[in-house]
Structure 1
Amino acid sequence: MQYYKIPPPAQLSGFVKCFWVGEMAPVPGKELRHLSIATGAARIVFHYEGRFGSETAGGGWEPSFLAGFQGQSAAHRQFVSAERSGIFGVELLPGAVPALFGMPATELTGAFAELGSVLGKTADQWQRRMLSAAGNGERAQLAGEFLSALAPGRHAEVVPAAARELAFGGMVEGIDALAQRFNTSRRQFERTFRNGTGLSPGTYSRILRFERAVGEIPGNRRLTDVALDSGYYDQAHFIRDFRELAGMPPGQYRKAIAGLPFPEE
């Protein structure tokens, strides 16, 4: 597997964290398996080569979309493919969904949705051009142009600022303290945050802690140290969260990703 990032244009600062590319080729006689774990960020994904799918209850195979949204989620799924695959992704930041697309982020929570079902006919030409582009440099340029045209002149700062607070331990103070800091009631703060991220502040904070742990899993560090450095107070809580959000305990996840290039945060 090859994985790398492409920085977005400056005008998308505050809306797009990065563009990324993943290219994978199966070992002869063995399927590719992709683990989709819990994430606090919505993504736009283009399958420009090959296609992943999911196994159905009856043992069949349901293909994924060619282009679409993978919403923020506290759930996990597995996808499979028997062919070489190439994926171009757009990693969105908190508050980007309502700012760019004019809809609450809650509409994407837990969703794997076709691009056209979310953006309508405006997505058709973008999807065709992205999938037929000569390379990922061109895809990055096309994505930058399309999203920059949607970006508002001003970006409401409450959700991104609150997300940054949560990333640096804001939940320790509690939701009431955070709401007070942003000069709003707890109810209004929670509504605004959920509208911008698709998740409650508590769930978002929990997924952030899990994502910090995921970033420390590759390598040989003791899992107890990974748990403590990521904000877990005991190993049992760490393992329980990992099972729920990744579908397997941390030790098994470390083995599953062994040898893969891992996204750097």
Structure 2
Amino acid sequence: MKITYEEFSPSADLAPYVECYWVHSFTGESGEDSPVQRCLPLGMVEVIIHPDENISDLLTEEQWQQLPRSFFHGIYNNPVYWKIKSNARLFGIRFKPETFSTLFNVPAASLYCHFVSLETFLGREVSGLHRPLYGIKDIAAMVAHCDGFLSKRLADLELQHNYITEAADIIRHTKGNISIEEVSNSISVSMRQLQRSFKENLGTTPKGYLRIIRFRNAFSALESEHEWADITYDLGYADQAHFIREFREFAGDTPNSIIRNAENIRKKPFSFTDSIFL
């Protein structure tokens, strides 16, 4: 089976809200199952759409469960395992979680470690986003459609910049190598207020989000064949034992095992857009 993955940038006006669009394609013999895919925590909220007839299955409590054709998923803190039949694609929209509520008027906290079909979650008002994509083969047209839908939604909103946005930006730009006290001081908000607001809006604490973002950068560095000692130091882990323990918690496996088995069992279904991690 041939598996490909591509990412596409949103329009400039959507860049503060959307990290990227992506397409994950599976091409093979009719009825062929993909290798089991492991999706690692990215610290983002996503819309995932199956534009073709085949729909992926999620491993839940040791049983395979078919996913909705179009769904939201929130921030998650552990690996997710799934597979799909050949000749199918997944189309995704990756949102920055602190701005998700601006676009959809619901907090990302309601999706934490959870997924739900688009229309179950938001009703028919969101049908114009996903239904026109069913059956479309032209990826550029899919991206253009979503850009148009989300840009129109953005234009109809009264935008407000808030300290949650600032805090999340700081955590991402420091690659998670910062204390929550430093984040709190940077935005002039008490740690207690920051803790409460993160939990209410993102579903996790500032520390929880920081750990996910640090893991994401650790994985990206590991994928680029950086030395463990450098990753440990650059991202502020206490020592290599701390790095390995945190990595295993979020990846479900050790760094060595991820490297050794990545190609065989598709441990790395997603590439990483590093533009927000400067």
TM-score by length of 2: 0.84
Which of these residues, 158, 161, 166, is aligned with residue 166 of structure 2?
Answer: 161
Aligned pairs for 1:84-163 (under 5 A) are 84-151=87-154, 152-163=157-168
Alpha-carbon distance, 1:79 to partner: 0.7
Alpha-carbon distance, 1:114 to partner: 0.7
Report the more deviating stretch, 203-212 or 80-89: 80-89
Q: Could you tell me which residue of structure 2 aligns to residue 174 of structure 1?
A: 180
Letter in 2 for 1:96: T
The superposition leaves residues 221-265 of structure 1 with CA deviations (integer Å, 9 ceiling, x where unpaired) of 433333333332311111111111111111111233338683342
1:183/1:225 Cα in 2 relative to 1: closer, same or farther (>3 Å)? closer
Alpha-carbon distance, 1:104 to partner: 1.5
Residues in 2 aligned to 1:124 and 1:164: alpha-carbon distance in whole angstroms: 30
Does the 8 Å contact 1:46/1:89 carry over to 2?
yes
1:27/1:263 Cα in 2 relative to 1: closer, same or farther (>3 Å)? farther
Residues in 2 aligned to 1:56 and 1:262: alpha-carbon distance in whole angstroms: 24
Alpha-carbon distance, 1:118 to partner: 1.6
Letter in 2 for 1:21: V
Identity of aligned residues (%): 24
Aligned pairs for 1:17-32 (under 5 A) are 17-25=19-27, 31-32=34-35
Alpha-carbon distance, 1:205 to partner: 0.6
Letter in 1 for 2:251: A
Does the 8 Å contact 1:71/1:112 carry over to 2?
yes
**Structure 2 unpaired stretches of 5+:** none
SS of 1:150's equivalent in the other structure is helix
Which of these residues, 2, 5, 16, is aligned with residue 4 of structure 2?
Answer: 2
RMSD over aligned Cα atoms: 2.5
Q: Could you tell me which residue of structure 1 aligns to residue 58 of structure 2?
A: 54
Matched, 1:256 2:261: yes
SS of 1:132's equivalent in the other structure is coil
Residues in 2 aligned to 1:91 and 1:215: alpha-carbon distance in whole angstroms: 17
**Structure 1 unpaired stretches of 5+:** none
Alpha-carbon distance, 1:92 to partner: 0.6
Letter in 1 for 2:23: V
Does the 8 Å contact 1:190/1:200 carry over to 2?
yes
